[in-house]
Amino acid sequence: MIPPLLEEIRERLDEFTATERKAAHALLANYPMQGLGTVAQFAKAAGVSSPTILRFVARLGFPGFADFQARLRAELENQLNSPLARSSVMETDASVDGDPLMDKLVENVRETFAHLPRGELQSLIRILADEKRTVYLLGGRFTDALARYMAAHLRIVRPNVVHVAGQQGNWLDQLIGMGPKDVLVVFDIRRYQAEIVRFAEAAARQGVTVGLITDSWMSPIGRIAAHVLPARVAVPSPWDSSTALMAIAELLIAGVTQENAERSQTRMKALEDLRNAYDPKRTGDDLL
Amino acid sequence: MIPPLLEEIRERLDEFTATERKAAHALLANYPMQGLGTVAQFAKAAGVSSPTILRFVARLGFPGFADFQARLRAELENQLNSPLARSSVMETDASVDGDPLMDKLVENVRETFAHLPRGELQSLIRILADEKRTVYLLGGRFTDALARYMAAHLRIVRPNVVHVAGQQGNWLDQLIGMGPKDVLVVFDIRRYQAEIVRFAEAAARQGVTVGLITDSWMSPIGRIAAHVLPARVAVPSPWDSSTALMAIAELLIAGVTQENAERSQTRMKALEDLRNAYDPKRTGDDLL
DNA sequence: GCAATCCTGTAACAAAAAATACAAACGTTA
DNA sequence: TAACGTTTGTATTTTTTGTTACAGGATTGC
C-alpha cells in the first residue's frame, strides 16, 4: 500500500512558503485531480505562477512534475483497485437485451433460484461441510466439467474431496472405499447416462448419501438421492444449458466455505503459503 | 452525473479496428489510469503506436488527447466526490429471494450480457465455426473446467477441437502444431496464472488468433487477444464466480452450432449412430 | 530606515509530447 | 493473382509543456 501523499502534505504544510501553501491548498481541495492536469492548469487554479507549482513539487521531494504525477496516479490506481471502490467506478445498470438465448439464460438462473428448495440446499451444504465425510463428485458427458469445477473449489476449503473421473473402469476403485459416512454429489441432466445412474445406485446401496443436481424432469437418480436440487436447463438451442447448474454449484461452494469459515480461511492461507514455498516465481500451479 | 466512458467503450468495441481495440483493452484493463499518462506510455502499454492511440481517442469523439484526459479526470473527480452516492444496483427489479449471493449471480449474468460486445461475440463465433481452423481451448485452475465443457460441446458440432489440459509439459506439444489458421480460446480470470499468459503469448507469436473470456478488469492476455469477452465475476464470497463465464461459453457453443446448422445436425446424427453401433445397450460413452 | 535575504512572477528556453504526413503492410475482392 | 481500400507504423513537424534564469518586490533583522 502506497502511503497517501495527502497526509504528508497536510503535515508539512508549514514548511512551505506562503504561495506554495496556496498551491498545497488547491491540491488538497481537489485531491488528487488537481495534480493530474498540466502545471499551468494547477497554477491557475491555485492563483499562483507555474514556477511556484514546480517549487512546491520539488519541495515535496520529486525530481520533476512528471514524477509527482506518476505518484498520484499510482495512489489512485491502488485505491481504485480496492474491492470497495471498484464497484462504484465501474457499475452501471443496463437494460434488457433482445437476444432470446441470453434472456432465457438469465431467466433460467433466476427461476432456478426462485424454486430452489432451501432446506435441501442447506442440508446438503451442511453435509458437504462435514470434513469427516469424503466427498465424491461425479458428472456426465458435459456435466463432468461441473463436477471438476466444484471439486477444484471444495478441495481448497476441506480435505477428502474426490472427483470421480477418467476411465470408467477406475470408477469401481473409488466405489470400494465409499461408505455410509461419505457423500456423492452427482450432476445429471437429460440423456441421463446409464453408467452414471448405475454408479449412483451402487453407491447408495453402500449407504452413501447422494446429493443430486439435475434438471427439472429429474434424473432416475432422484429416487435414491437424499437431496435433490433441480435447475432450469431448457434453452432455445439443441442442447440443455448448464449455466443454472453452475450457479447451484457456486451456491454450494460458497455455502460450504461459509459453513466453516475459519477452517476455510486457514486452509486457503496454508495453500497460498505452500504454493509460494513450492515455487515463488510461479503464480499458480498445475491444473490437477 | 457524467456517464462513464468505460461503458461506452465496451459497447462500441466493435466499431474500432483491430489495433484500436488493443488500445481499448489496455485502457479497460487499467481504467482510467492508463489514459492519464502520456500518449507514448499508453501506446507502449497497449503494444501499439502513438498514432493508433490518437486515432482511438479521435474515434471516441474527442478533438484531442487532452480533451480525452480532461474527461477521464472529470469522471474520477465526480466519482470520488460522491462516496456512496451510487448504490445504483438497488434500482433494478426486486429480488425474488433474499439471498445476496443468488441476487448477485443473477445480476452478474444479466450485466455480463448487457455489456457484452456483440461484434466481438459474433466474430469469435464465426471464427470458431470455421472448421478449417483447429480450435484450442485453455483454462486456469478453476476455469479449466469451462474449457473442458466448451470443448466437449464443440467437438460434437465441428472437427479439430483440442482441449489443452493436463501436464504443462505437454502443452508445448500442442504449441508446435499451432499456426495462423488456428484459434485459441482462453478462459482467464483474476489471479491470471503466469503459465496461461505465457502460453497465450507464445500462441499469438505464432500467429494464432486468440479469443479471451475474462473478468471485467481483463487479463494481461487482453493485450494480445483479437477478441475479448468480459464477464462479471464479483460475488460476496472469497472467490470469483464462473457462472457468467459459463453463460458466455454457452452463447459461443450455441452460436457455433447455429452458424453452421446443417453440419452440426449431420455430425450430431452421425455421432448418435456411431454410439448406437458401438454399444447399443449403452446410452452414452466415456468422458474423454 | 537601510540592507541583506528570501520569495515570487515574467519571460525565455529546452524538452517533451501531441499531431500530421506519408509510405509500407495487410486483407479483400474481382 | 493483381489491384484496391484500409489499416498501421515510422518519421517529421508543430505545439504544448515543463523547466530555468533573472529581476523586481516583499520581508525581516540590525
Least confident range from A3-7, A105-109, A175-179, A260-264: namely A3-7
Q: Which three cell numbers stand for residue A38?
A: 498540466
Beta-carbon separation of A76 and B77 below 8 A: no
Taking alpha carbons only, the member of B6, B69, B73, B23 closest to residue B216 is B6
Share of chain A above pLDDT 90, in %: 53
Of B26, B52, B81, the one marking the end of a domain is B81
Range of the domain at B56: 5-81
| In-domain check, residue A185 | yes
Look up the CATH number of the domain holding residue B22: 1.10.10.10
More confident residue, A213 or B180: A213
Give the pLDDT score at B255.
93
Q: 3-class SS at B246? A: helix
- Whole-angstrom Cα distance, residue B1 to residue B113? 24
**pLDDT score, position B6:** 85
**Grid cell listed for B163:** 482441449
Percent of chain A with pLDDT over 70: 88
**Residue-wise pLDDT tens digits, A34-46:** 899 999 999 998 9
Q: In angstroms, what CA-CA distances link B249 with A28, A216, A252, B109?
A: 47, 22, 21, 12
Whether B24 and B106 share a structural domain = no
- Give the C-alpha separation, B161 to B174, whole Å: 12
Give A-chain residues touching B97 at CB under 8 angstroms.
Answer: 113-114
Contacts of A91 in chain B (CB under 8 A): 86, 88-89, 111
pLDDT, residue A262, reads 85
Residues A118 and A216 in one domain: yes
- B238–chain A Cβ distance below 8 A for any pair: yes
Note whether A286 contacts B: Cβ–Cβ < 8 A.
Answer: yes
Which nucleotides of strand C are protein-proximal, with an atom < 7 A from a CB? 6-11, 16-21
**Nearest CA-CA partner of B243 in B106, B116, B151, B147:** B106
Separation in Å, CA of A149 to nearest CA in chain B = 5
A35 and A174 belong to one structural domain: no
Cβ atoms of B196 and B138 closer than 8 Å: yes
> How do strand A209-215 and strand A183-188 relate by DSSP bridges?
parallel
Does B269 lie at the interface with A, CB-CB under 8 angstroms?
no
Do B65 and B178 lie in one domain? The reply is: no
Does the residue A286 lie in any domain? Answer: no
Asked, for residue A285, whether it belongs to a domain, the answer is no
Is A243 within 8 Å of B241 when comparing Cβ atoms?
A: no
Kindly state the cell numbers that stand for B53. 492511440
Task: List, for residues B141-163, the tens digit of each pLDDT value.
Answer: 999 999 999 999 999 999 999 99
For the stretch A110-122, pLDDT in tens is 999 988 989 889 9
Beta strands in chain B (DSSP E): 135-139, 161-163, 183-188, 209-215, 227-231
Contact A152 B145 (CB under 8 A): yes
B262 and B139 housed in the same domain: yes
Q: How confident is the model at residue B217 (pLDDT cuts 50, 70, 90)?
A: low
Q: Which of A144, A158, A250 to probe by mutation at the B interface, max B CB count within 10 Å? A: A250
Unique residue bearing C-alpha cell 500500500 = A1
Q: Give me the number of domains chain B comprises.
A: 2
Residues on chain A touching B41 (C-beta within 8 angstroms)? none
Cell numbers of A5, please? 501523499
Comparing alpha-carbon positions, the chain A residue that sits nearest to B285 is A141
Give the CATH number of the domain where residue B231 resides: 3.40.50.10490
Q: Using one digit for the tens of pLDDT, what is the confidence trace for A137-176?
A: 999 999 999 999 999 999 999 999 999 998 888 898 889 9
Q: Which helix (H) or strand (E) holds A230?
A: strand A227-231
Q: Do A109 and B105 touch (CB under 8 A)?
A: yes
Residues B107 and B76 occupy one common structural domain: no
A47 backbone φψ class: left, alpha, beta (φ>0; ψ -120 to 50): left
Average pLDDT, integer, range A244-257: 96
- Whether B143 maps to a domain, the answer reads yes
Mutate to test the interface with A, among B90, B246, B267, B279 (most CBs of A within 10 A): B246
Query: Looking at A45, A72, A90, which one is the last position of a domain?
Result: A90
What digits encode the pLDDT tens for the residues A49-69? 999 999 999 999 998 999 999
pLDDT bin (cut points 50, 70, 90) of residue B238 is confident
Q: What's the confidence (pLDDT) of residue A81? A: 56
SS3 for B110?
helix
Question: Does the beta-carbon distance from A109 to B243 stay under 8 Å?
Answer: yes
Residue B129 pLDDT greater than 70, yes or no:
yes
Residues 6+ apart with CB under 8 A from A56: A16, A20, A23, A24
Average pLDDT over residues B190-202: 87
Q: Note which residues in 62-121 of chain A have CB less than 8 A from chain B.
A: 69-70, 73, 76-77, 80, 83, 86-97, 99, 101-102, 105-106, 109-110, 113-114
Torsion-angle region of A227 (φ positive above 0: left; ψ -120 to 50: alpha; else: beta): beta
Do B27 and B66 touch, CB atoms closer than 8 A?
Answer: no
